[in-house]
Amino acid sequence: MSAATGVLVLENGLEFPGTLFGAPVSAESIRAAQKAGNRIKDRGYGEVVFNTSLTGYQEILTDPSYYGQIVCMTNPHIGNTGINSEDPESPHPWCGGFVIFEKSELASNWRSEDSLESYMLKHEIPGLHGIDTRALTRQLRTTGVIRGVILPMEERHLAKELLAELPSFEGRDLIGEVTTREPYIWKEFASKHSKTAFEELKATEPKFKVIAMDFGVKWNLLRGLEHFGCAVEVVPANMSAEAILAKKPDGIFLSNGPGDPSAAPYAAETVRRLVGQVPLFGVCMGHQILALAMGAKTYKLKFGHRGGNQPVIDHDTGRVEISSHNHGYAVEADGLPSALEITHISLNDKTVEGLRVKGAKAFSVQYHPEACPGPHDSVILFERFVKLMEG
């Protein structure tokens, strides 16, 4: 157990001291990760963001949408439920660092198989605990998302130099860095890699063949599709529309993912060619890619939406859903192409949360209908996708 003092240094020079935990980190290790050419190269470095979820830190760590980010949890007590083999959203964590106020030394849960610190050490994720996460969150809300590095206290003087060397995230194609390299059948993949608590879902007879474009997909989105009767094949984000249609799908799912959607124009071009061919359902990054494909624009939010307590209203039903979000970009409402219709709006800041393509069986939402670890207000969206395929 490390007791070394560390610090999170932001690009604007502000410092947030704490105690290092998880994987060791140094200026040398951050530079080495960048030069190694590995698939995951941002360790101890990233855009600093905050998440307001009360539970689900394991899902957050393993969500590919957090690639390139250091995540600050606003909930002050983290680690008390441990780590298990049922809840990951991908094979390994993706975030660049994890910042919390209080690290629980005791994991008390009947499903716990490992501690948070051991898990982070195993997967080379550096962290800081004991920092003033409330002050950090207020800073991010005031100034917006900003780059930062986690360093031992004795190396704090290297932060400015290090940040000047490290790449910007603006215009960086993070989708291309996290997407699968080869297509795979979800059920076959899950039987080898993805233990799930919902064993009864495996008995569901598939009625539809769905191709999932992997922009950084969460496993529970694939489980959700499977639960509603879909046999899912996951394909790389750069697969052509012609190759996807050659697989003769009943529907196409556009997944979540990290970064700036406009940095992956190939994905929008593919989706543009798919609209109107078969039913489409987009989530989070998939929502933004569908919007770009139809001629809309996206923009970067000041500090994004990340957490499981975001209120959204569905214009079709008038129903308010408490939803799970993780995104730093949004679709511009002003100048929206006539082919798109807004279906959902955030009640916090009025951002576009849902779209429908007029005259085509295609729709999307900015939030996560699988909502693991919760809430589950939005699971009905899977049913809407299935009805489009039935129709």
Q: Are 180 and 214 in contact (CB under 8 A)?
A: yes
- Name the token pair of 297: 């624009």
- Name the token pair of 94: 């993706």
User: How far apart, in whole angstroms, are the C-alpha atoms of residue 220 and residue 237?
Assistant: 18
Can you tell me which residue has the tokens 């529309």?
241
Judged by DSSP in three states, 252 sits in strand
Q: Are 357 and 340 in contact (CB under 8 A)?
A: yes
Chain centre distance of CA 299: 17
Can you tell me which residue has the tokens 């950090």?
136
Among 129, 305, 327, 368, which one carries the catalytic annotation?
Answer: 368
Which residues have CB under 8 Å from 313's CB, separation 6+? 319, 320, 321, 344, 345, 347
Residue 325, classified by CB atoms within 10 Å of its CB into exposed (0-12), middle (13-18) or buried (19+), is: buried
Can you tell me which residue has the tokens 């969150």?
137
Whether 230 is catalytic is no
Q: Are 331 and 262 in contact (CB under 8 A)?
A: no
Q: Are 5 and 150 in contact (CB under 8 A)?
A: no
Q: Which residues of 23-37 are buried (b: 16+ CB within 10 A; e: fewer)?
A: bebbbebbbebbeee
Whether 368 is catalytic is yes
Among 89, 155, 226, 370, which one carries the catalytic annotation?
Answer: 370
Among 284, 305, 325, 353, which one carries the catalytic annotation?
Answer: 284
Whether 370 is catalytic is yes
Which residues have CB under 8 Å from 278's CB, separation 6+? 245, 249, 250, 251, 252, 361
Q: Radius of gyration over alpha carbons of the chain, in Å?
A: 20
Q: Which residues are catalytic?
A: 284, 368, 370
